[in-house]
């Protein structure tokens, strides 16, 4: 009887959502939740409504409830990760997004949202990898194309940026953001074609030439940022080992120790292990790139 009443209330809430009456939908879902608090579909609907109302903390709470009540629902982890990203809780966002992808490695939104989080954290190489995976799964994802183009533009890799701006326009013709990006690239290429300015004299640093922030400020800032990014990637690498690789190895070992289990379980363990290893490879490449950059900067620092 109670379940029938809840189903009726959920249908009413969905009709309110169709009419974009978010407040009414919220009140109806809360009424359903009052009848029985352990219904993941009610929490999911309520979380979605809170997201539309920009009540992000409440949305995160109810998406968490869905993952607690229905821990195999990949979409709840992905949506929770998207909300946590907006709340600037980046580390937890990455954790739940990885869980969503482990449950469903074909979920495009999972990789797309990971790209958003990595971008916010300044880990552009990881963001590029995530957006590219999203595009591999869905080549028609215009937003992923645009975000990739913007990253390449910021890295001054204009050829790649132009490629993805054009790809975005093929998917979404006359898209103003993509057209603006192409205009920016044309302006950047025009400016780089101008004659180079005379090379600045390097200031020596040593006992008789101490570091002067006014002179070496840009260099010091660049070195500082590169060092911070290396530290962030180091922590990410460590987190992947603890949160993905180690659990995947344990699950795989259990499957191999007890081969009488279902073949589908073993296949799932192998798949989870392969995903964890790919994340590790990507993180390792990014970390190695940043460490090499720090070394280059250190070697280039002018000395007496």
pLDDT in tens, 75-116: 999 999 999 999 999 999 999 999 999 999 899 999 999 999
pLDDT at 71 over 70: yes
Q: Indicate the range of 113-122, 128-137, 292-301 predicted with least confidence.
A: 292-301
Torsion angle, alpha carbons of 87, 93, 94, 96, to 10:
-170
What integer pLDDT is reported at residue 271 of this predicted model? 72
Mean pLDDT, residues 19-47 taken together: 94
209 forms beta bridges with: 206
Domain assignments of the chain as residue spans, ordered by start: 139-191, 215-300
Structure tokens at 263: 């073949």
Q: Give the count of beta carbons closer than 10 Å to the beta carbon of residue 238.
A: 11
Over the stretch 258-268, which tens digit does the pLDDT of each residue have? 555 556 666 77
Where does the pLDDT of residue 192 fall: very low under 50, low under 70, confident under 90, or very high at 90 and above? low
Over the stretch 128-163, which tens digit does the pLDDT of each residue have? 999 999 999 999 999 999 999 999 999 999 999 999
d(CA 12, CA 195): 67
Where does the pLDDT of residue 201 fall: very low under 50, low under 70, confident under 90, or very high at 90 and above? very low
Q: What is the mean pLDDT of the chain?
A: 82
d(CA 47, CA 66): 9
Structure tokens at 45: 């609907």
- The answer to whether the beta carbons of residues 280 and 245 sit under 8 Å apart is yes
CA nearest to 149, candidates 133, 166, 136: 166
d(CA 76, CA 32): 19
pTM attached to this predicted model: 0.66
Q: What are phi and psi of 14, to 5 degrees?
A: -65, -35
């Amino acid at each position: 009887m109670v379940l029938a009443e809840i189903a009726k209330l959920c249908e009413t809430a969905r009709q309110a959502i169709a009419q974009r009456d978010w407040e009414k939908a919220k009140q109806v879902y809360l009424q359903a939740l009052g009848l029985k608090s352990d219904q993941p579909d009610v929490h999911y609907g309520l979380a979605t409504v809170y997201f539309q109302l920009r009540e992000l903390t409440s949305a995160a709470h109810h998406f968490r409830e869905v993952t607690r009540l229905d821990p195999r629902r990949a979409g709840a982890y992905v949506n929770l990760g998207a909300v946590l990203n907006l709340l600037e809780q980046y580390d937890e966002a990455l954790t739940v997004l990885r869980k969503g992808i482990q449950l469903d490695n074909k979920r495009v939104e999972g990789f797309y949202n990971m790209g958003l989080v990595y971008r916010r954290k300044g880990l552009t190489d990881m963001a590029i990898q995530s957006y590219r995976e999203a595009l591999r799964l869905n080549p028609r994802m215009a937003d992923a194309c645009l975000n990739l183009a913007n990253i390449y533009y910021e890295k001054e890799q204009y050829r790649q940026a132009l490629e993805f701006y054009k790809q975005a326009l093929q998917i979404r013709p006359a898209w103003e953001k993509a057209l603006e990006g192409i205009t920016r690239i044309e302006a950047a290429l025009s400016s780089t074609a101008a004659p180079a300015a005379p090379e600045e004299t390097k200031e020596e640093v040593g006992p008789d030439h101490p570091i002067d922030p006014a002179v070496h400020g840009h260099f010091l800032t660049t070195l500082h940022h590169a060092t911070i990014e290396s530290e962030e990637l180091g922590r990410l690498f460590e987190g992947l080992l603890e949160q993905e690789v180690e659990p995947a190895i344990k699950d795989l070992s259990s499957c191999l120790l007890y081969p009488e289990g279902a073949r589908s379980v073993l296949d799932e363990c192998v798949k989870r292990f392969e995903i964890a290893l790919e994340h590790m490879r990507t993180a390792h490449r990014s970390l190695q790139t940043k460490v090499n950059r720090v070394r280059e900067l250190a070697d280039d620092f002018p000395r007496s």
